[in-house]
Amino acid sequence: MCGKSKTEMEMRLQEPRVWMRYAYALKQIEWKLRWIDVELAEQKNRQIIRAMNGRLKSVDSIKKKLRRKGKPVTFESAEANLNDIAGMRVVCYFCDDIDIVADAIRKQRDLRIVKEKDYVRNPKPSGYQSVHIIVAVPLTCGAVTEEIPVEIQIRSVAMDYWAELDTQMCYKKSAGQIKHVEREICGYSAVIAGVDNQMLELRKRIEMM
Ligand code: 0O2
C-alpha cells in the first residue's frame, strides 16, 4: 500500500464548507487592506505598504502548532485554539508605518479586534518584531452570521528581512542545539532595528527640507 490515509481532522479541514470560510475571510481582509493602502498613499503622499501576502495554514502546520501549544490535535481544537488558520502579512516601508496601518485596521467598523500583540515595542526573546492583530471577520450565510478569525502581521521591510532569515535558520528548529545561533540572530535583530530607526530619521529629515 502506498500513500497516507487522511486523518479525521484533515478530512474536516479540507471540506469546502470549512476552508471556504477562512478563504472568504482572508479575501475580505485582502481587499480591505488594498483599500487602506490606496487611502493611506493619498493621505501621506507616499506609499506606506510595500507588500501583502495571505495564506491558509496547511494541515501539517496546524497539527504541528497544536502539538507545540500542547492542545489536542483535532478539528475542534484547531478551530478553538488557532487564530491564524487564515493569516495576512503586511510589509511596510518604514517602522512608523506599522502604527499607521494598525490604526487604519482598528478604525474598520465591520471588523472586531479580538487580540493585539505588539512585538515591536516588546520584541520576542528571539528578537522577532511585528505587530499582530487578530480580527474577527463576519460571515453571513442565509440567516446565520459567524465570525472568522484572521491574523494580520504588520512589520517593516527590515523586520521582514530578519523574520524571513530567522525562519530559514532558527524558528521552529529544536532549541538547545542551535543556542549560539539563536543568540547571534537575536543580536542582528537589534542591529536591524537600529538601522530601521536611522532610515526613519533620514526620511523625516528629507520631509523637513
Ligand atoms: P507560521 O508558519 O509563520 O504561521 P496566539 O495563539 O494568537 O496567542 P500564537 O500564534 O501562538 O499566538 O503565537 P505568536 O508568537 O503571537 O505568533 C505566532 C506567529 O508569529 C508565528 O506563526 C510566526 O509567523 C510569527 N513568529 C513568532 N515568533 C517568531 C520568531 O521568533 N521568528 C519568526 N521568524 N517568526 C515568529 P507560526 O504558526 O508559529 O508559524
**Mean pLDDT on 37-66:** 96
Q: Compute the distance from residue 132 Cα to the ligand 1 centre, in Å.
A: 9
Q: Residue 175: is its pLDDT beyond 90?
A: no
Q: Quick one: what percent of the chain has pLDDT higher than 70? A: 96
- Residue 2 clears pLDDT 50, i.e. is over it: no
| pLDDT for residue 130 is more than 80 | yes
**Where residue 176 falls among pLDDT bands split at 50, 70, 90?**
low
Question: Cβ contacts of residue 69 below 8 Å, gap of 6+?
Answer: 81
171 ligand 1 Cβ < 6 A: yes
Atom of ligand 1 nearest to the CA of 153: 20
Integer Cα distance of 34 and 151 in angstroms: 16
Give the length of the chain: 209
Distance (Å) from CA 127 to ligand 1 centroid: 12
Confidence class for position 47, pLDDT limits 50, 70, 90: very high
Decide whether any atom of ligand 1 lies within 6 Å of the 132 Cβ.
Answer: yes
Look at residue 144 and tell me whether its pLDDT is greater than 60: yes
Q: Whose CA is nearest to atom 3 of ligand 1?
A: 167
Q: Is 182 in the pocket of ligand 1 (CB under 6 A)?
A: no
Question: Worst-scoring range by mean pLDDT, 9-23, 55-69, 85-99, 144-158?
Answer: 9-23
Q: Over 70: is that where the pLDDT of 115 sits?
A: yes
Q: Which residue from 53, 155, 171, 172 has its CB within 8 A of the most atoms of ligand 1, so it is best to mutate? A: 171
Q: What's the burial of 73, exposed, middle or buried (CB within 10 Å: 0-12/13-18/19+)?
A: middle
- What is the model's pTM? 0.94
Task: Report, in this order, helix, strand and coil percent for the chain, each rounded to 5.
Answer: 50, 20, 30
Q: Which pLDDT does position 18 carry in this prediction?
A: 87
pLDDT at residue 1 in the model: 42
Whether 83 is in the pocket of ligand 1, judged by its Cβ within 6 Å, is yes
Q: Looking at residue 96, what DSSP letter applies?
A: T
At 4, the pLDDT band (50, 70, 90 cuts) reads: low
Show the cell assigned to 131.
Answer: 505587530
The per-residue pLDDT for 3 is: 52
